[in-house]
Structure 1
């Protein structure tokens, strides 16, 4: 028996397996080495050498002659069944690529966003995108910011739209919109009638805030701690609509972004600006650095910020240079 550990013969053609397989498939199809050579625009000896090398490597006779025509042996027919789909796929690659590339306007787009962004910021953008690109299947993935970053890193979504305080080094964040910080309370609340509002005035009243893991809670805590103003949280609950409902019922006051306060809300809630103590909240586009955006993603971002692709690269903090 031959030593199984012995090195296999090395043939020069192995560096390009496609050529001998293509030569083999053409010979089977046309029944002649000369016709295969004409079809492939090479010499007959070149085809013969490639077929002989295949037979040596596989240890099988691939053709037998019937008159002037070559026909595959049983082993040759097996190889043809295996090789022909591969050769056809490779030969068709340029055409398939062009067809696929020309159809990139179709397809799908996956966008991550938290509930407030989906509810208050994205409706007009989504409507505009659907009007311009009805053939694209758009999926909005509701998430909190942390989950959105993980979806971006896993390439489960094309981009995220939302608000970020700390931008990880592997992501880019381009802020687009700014929203004012507001105190919301029932219309009859004492703070609603106060002529000049100070941060200390909020201290006696319990707050209703989103969960601690979310940006709003972290920002509120940061501002109160920085100004050494004590505060209490009566209720943690997710969702601005729920928070506004509980505030309207008199269960507490809250600090929200103006993105979530509608004209209907102003009929049942009193609002006061807190821009003196709290920074404006930015919302924008988040992408993974190094990701090549699809045409669908670029079209969506274009509706959010038309000049985003005309900006220079993001700086080291992940914010756009503008």
Structure 2
């Protein structure tokens, strides 16, 4: 490879003297390298006419190969460059509550892996208090929860606010009603998130505060399952705005309705990390990527009411 590079320089300079200066070699040493290459290849590369060098046909073929070799070497170096950075063999463990796993984490992981493909990512799920503990114990590098956490041992970085929304099938009787109120949820057949979760606690507090008692037909811990069942069972549900992508609503023939009282169910989705964890390049870059994403487009693909 070295001899081919030397040969290419001689061809381009059209002079052993100029090439030797460029390569920082003595002219006799350069001549020996060219002779060695000719011996290795078994062909004559130059015709020497006085002080001039003229390529033979074999030399022209060899020069084309040398250029191609140089292009391939540059391509290889570019391909390997990502592995020479501090992200080499880096890994990141993200802890996410179930709600953020379904609503927020997929978008962030898609963006992050596209920008930093060499970083391996592992996701761990749990309830919010479990994710808080995992972050504090350094069992995960960063946490993603639908809550603001006040803890002296953690940094809590708010990403965005959202609230619960009423989701109905398009042909539901309430879908065409001009204005809806929280009282419209009284005895309304609904599928809700499982008890004990943050969003279900918000719902129950909302119902108690407004003395409303919906007819809860099912309790499920999967947003996706709720969406499908609402459509097929012709029931209603309450889901966080951060989960309600436009394509999800359209594909399942649903509609999202505004109820003023639901504004009181505002939740803040946040990143959690320790000071030590954010010193790691992978964690720091994940935090930076999340902040850039939500500052550039706070609404994202969420359904706007």
TM range (shorter): 0.5 to 0.7
Give the distance between the partners of 1:289 and 1:228, measured in 2 at CA. Answer: 44
Give the distance between the partners of 1:136 and 1:187, measured in 2 at CA. Answer: 42
Alignment map for 1:5-84 (pairs within 5 Å): none
* Preserved CA contact (<8 Å) 1:114 1:145: yes
Partner residue of 2:142 out of 154, 159, 174: 159
Residue by residue, what CA displacement relative to the aligned partner does 1:107-134 show, whole Å, maximum 9, x if unpaired?
2111111344334423343233223322
Give the distance between the partners of 1:161 and 1:240, measured in 2 at CA. Answer: 17
Q: 1:206 to 1:172 in 2, by over 3 A?
A: farther
Partner residue of 1:304 out of 279, 285, 290: 290
Q: Does 1:138 align with 2:121?
A: yes
3-state SS, counterpart of residue 155 of structure 1: coil
Aligned residue in 2 for 1:105: 87
* Preserved CA contact (<8 Å) 1:179 1:281: yes
CA positional deviation for 1:162: 2.4
3-state SS, counterpart of residue 264 of structure 1: helix
Q: Does 1:274 align with 2:259?
A: yes
Give the distance between the partners of 1:142 and 1:213, measured in 2 at CA. Answer: 15
Q: Does 1:204 align with 2:190?
A: no
TM-score norm. by structure 2 comes to: 0.60
Give the distance between the partners of 1:289 and 1:229, measured in 2 at CA. Answer: 44
Aligned residue in 2 for 1:37: none
Q: 1:224 to 1:171 in 2, by over 3 A?
A: farther
* Preserved CA contact (<8 Å) 2:95 2:124: yes
CA positional deviation for 1:231: 3.2
CA positional deviation for 1:289: 6.4
Aligned residue in 1 for 2:197: 214
Aligned residue in 1 for 2:217: 234
Residue by residue, what CA displacement relative to the aligned partner does 1:12-56 show, whole Å, maximum 9, x if unpaired?
xxxxxxxxxxxxxxxxxxxxxxxxxxxxxxxxxxxxxxxxxxxxx
Aligned residue in 2 for 1:294: 280
Aligned residue in 1 for 2:160: 177
Q: Which runs of 5+ in 1 are unaligned?
A: 1-101, 309-322
CA positional deviation for 1:306: 4.1
Give the distance between the partners of 1:246 and 1:234, measured in 2 at CA. Answer: 11
* Preserved CA contact (<8 Å) 2:181 2:260: no
* Higher helix residue share: 2
Which range moves more in the overlay, 249-258 or 154-163?
Answer: 249-258
Residue by residue, what CA displacement relative to the aligned partner does 1:89-119 show, whole Å, maximum 9, x if unpaired?
xxxxxxxxxxxxx974332111111344334
CA positional deviation for 1:172: 3.3
Give the distance between the partners of 1:249 and 1:147, measured in 2 at CA. Answer: 34
TM-score norm. by structure 1 comes to: 0.57
Q: Does 1:256 align with 2:233?
A: no
3-state SS, counterpart of residue 141 of structure 1: strand
* Preserved CA contact (<8 Å) 2:99 2:146: no
Output the aligned Cα RMSD. 2.6
Residue by residue, what CA displacement relative to the aligned partner does 1:119-165 show, whole Å, maximum 9, x if unpaired?
44233432332233222211122333232122112211011112115
Give the distance between the partners of 2:235 and 2:181, measured in 1 at CA. Answer: 18
* Preserved CA contact (<8 Å) 1:179 1:258: yes
Q: Give the number of equivalent residue pairs.
A: 207
Give the distance between the partners of 1:128 and 1:117, measured in 2 at CA. Answer: 16
Aligned residue in 2 for 1:7: none
CA positional deviation for 1:235: 1.3
